[in-house]
């Protein structure tokens, strides 16, 4: 099976400006994803898709390919990453042919372990879904302890059970989606508009390896967790 690893890293970030090249435990954040991609024995190429020359330069320093600069219209706050996936696949189709699978490794999950990615690849190879996503234990259960506002100051449950769940263990099990890894069939992504239009399977990742960096607080928390581990 031909597998290509890709890292999608645009230059703009409102939550944490410059986060993709911000030093995280001594290395640019994107470097962690690149090195994790190169650790995968089943991956034939590591490609970075970016609109930012600084990100492109650092990516190349760490050995990744940056064969094109992502168009401006695919690098805005409101630009769906799905469209950037499609853009990359079309490039590969013209350049060398579409691979059997693509792995997306977002820069925002530097605490992922190699085994977390390998588990996703294993699931994809055995079950052949359209996409494998990663999940972890939910911080809140929408059936039990999440509410939304009504008019005025009143609130109501986000979801209702047929019978009220008075205990968390009575509510259906739910998971948080993470940004640890995505493994997908490129042909499916090209022909569809969103992830859950297809057959989606999930690989579990422990909470302590699934931190998603979006804010300065997330960044500091992830650094603390990594520094407390033996991985640096």
Domain ranges of the chain: 3-135+177-227, 139-173
Q: What is the pLDDT of residue 197?
A: 96
In angstroms, rounded to a whole number, what is the distance separating the alpha carbons of residues 172 and 162?
Answer: 12
Q: Are 30 and 7 in contact (CB under 8 A)?
A: yes
Position 95 confidence tier, pLDDT thresholds 50, 70, 90: very high
Give the whole-number percent of the chain exceeding pLDDT 70.
Answer: 94
The distance in angstroms from the start CA to the end CA of the chain is 32
Average pLDDT over residues 81-99: 96
pTM: 0.90
**Predicted pLDDT of residue 163:** 54
Average predicted confidence (pLDDT) for the chain: 92
Coil, helix or strand at residue 145: coil
CATH superfamily of 3-135+177-227: Spore Coat Polysaccharide Biosynthesis Protein SpsA; Chain A (3.90.550.10)
Q: Convert the pLDDT of each residue in 124-173 to its tens digit.
A: 999 999 999 999 998 887 777 788 888 878 888 887 765 555 666 677 78
Chain segment 210-224, per-residue pLDDT in tens: 999 999 999 999 999
Q: What is the pLDDT of residue 228?
A: 87
């Amino acid at each position: 099976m031909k597998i290509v690893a890709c890292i999608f890293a645009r230059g703009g970030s409102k939550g944490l400006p410059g986060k993709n090249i911000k030093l995280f435990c001594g290395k640019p954040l994107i470097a962690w994803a690149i090195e994790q991609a190169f650790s995968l024995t089943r991956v034939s190429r590591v490609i970075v898709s970016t609109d930012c020359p600084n990100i492109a330069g650092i990516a190349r320093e760490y050995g990744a390919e940056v064969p094109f600069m992502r168009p401006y219209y695919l690098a805005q706050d409101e630009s769906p990453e799905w469209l950037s996936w499609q853009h990359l696949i079309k490039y590969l189709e013209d350049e060398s042919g579409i691979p059997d699978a693509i792995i997306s490794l977002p820069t925002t999950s530097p605490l992922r372990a190699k085994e977390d990615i390998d588990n996703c690849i294993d699931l994809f190879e055995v079950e052949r879904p359209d996409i494998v996503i990663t999940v972890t234990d939910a911080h809140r259960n929408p059936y039990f302890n999440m509410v939304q506002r009504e008019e005025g100051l009143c609130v109501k449950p986000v979801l209702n059970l047929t019978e009220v769940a008075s205990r968390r263990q009575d509510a259906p099990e739910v998971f948080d989606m993470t940004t640890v890894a995505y493994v997908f069939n490129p042909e499916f992504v090209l022909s569809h508009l969103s992830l859950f239009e297809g057959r989606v399977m999930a690989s579990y990742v422990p909470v302590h390896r699934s931190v998603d960096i979006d804010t300065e607080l997330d960044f500091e928390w992830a650094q603390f967790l990594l520094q407390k581990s033996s991985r640096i």
